[in-house]
């Protein structure tokens, strides 16, 4: 049986990474996909852990080799999901989690209609603005562009299977875990062997 592909989308600053880091230790085996990006590394970020930091030529080479499952431009930089690690994990029966913006999420949905799509919303745009400023990683123009993009993404929320509002972190983490667990329990995911096991008399 293939693993389940989870896609998590939501404005930058909404807390996707924080929710994931808090939820994942309790979720058993789930492979987090490390994206490629042309964005400069922020302080504290580690190449190969937070992102694969590439220059534009290396990113273009990945595109030319059809090595990305999806990609998008976001506020002046490119971001994409390397396809190979995702497919390797899924075919080994491992669940996979992508954290990507809306355009990329749409591409994944086209290519992999079975993917489970989660949207993380901020309690309000004002709160998102506060969080982006508090992070202190972007200048004013970038913050405004990220907020404009966040508004656009919120308009697409009903394209997703689930929506989680990240108001209180502990509640959002619980909701996130619930979604993952419920999806893993879907009866249609049972393999023939699992059904045979249910039928076994002893
Ligand atoms: P940041 O610069 O804040 O790390 O990321 C900016 C936005 O790009 C976030 O919404 C983040 O989820 C998204 N992003 C990160 N990796 C990928 C990716 O591989 N593909 C796409 N489409 N978006 C990504």
CATH class name, domain 5-33+94-201: alpha beta
Number of H helices, E strands in the chain: 8, 9
pTM of the complete model:
0.94
Residues 6+ apart with CB under 8 A from 171: none
pLDDT digits (tens, 9 = 90+) for 148-188: 999 999 999 999 999 999 999 999 999 999 999 999 999 99
**Pair type for strands 36-37 and 30-32:** unpaired
Q: Where are the domains of the chain?
A: 5-33+94-201
- Pocket-forming residues, ligand 1, beta carbon under 6 Å: 12, 35, 39, 70-72, 74, 79-81, 99-101, 103-104
pLDDT digits (tens, 9 = 90+) for 14-73: 999 999 999 999 899 999 999 999 999 999 999 999 999 999 999 999 999 999 999 999
Instruction: Classify each residue of 173-201 as buried b or exposed e, where b means 16 or more C-beta atoms within 10 Å of its C-beta.
Output: bbbbbebbeebeeeeeeeeeeeeeeeeee
Ligand 1 centroid from CA 99, angstroms: 7
């Amino acid at each position: 049986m293939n693993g389940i592909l989870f896609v998590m989308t939501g404005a930058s600053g909404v807390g996707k990474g924080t929710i994931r880091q808090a939820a994942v230790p309790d979720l058993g085996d789930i492979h987090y996909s490390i994206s490629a990006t042309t964005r400069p590394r922020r302080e504290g970020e580690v190449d190969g852990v937070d992102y694969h930091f590439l220059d534009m030529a290396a990113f273009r080479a990945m595109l030319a080799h059809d090595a990305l499952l999806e990609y998008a431009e976001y506020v002046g930089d490119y971001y994409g999901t390397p396809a190979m690690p995702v497919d390797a994990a899924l075919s080994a029966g491992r669940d996979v989690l992508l954290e990507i913006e809306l355009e990329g999420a749409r591409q994944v949905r086209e290519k992999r209609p079975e993917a489970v799509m989660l949207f993380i919303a901020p309690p309000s745009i004002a709160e998102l603005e506060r969080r982006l400023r508090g992070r202190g990683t972007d200048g004013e123009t970038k913050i405004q562009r990220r907020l404009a993009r966040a508004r656009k993404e919120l308009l697409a929320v009903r394209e997703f299977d689930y929506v989680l509002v990240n108001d209180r972190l502990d509640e959002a983490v619980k909701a996130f875990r619930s979604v993952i667990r419920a999806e893993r329990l879907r009866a249609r995911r049972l393999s023939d062997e699992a059904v045979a096991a249910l039928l076994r008399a002893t």
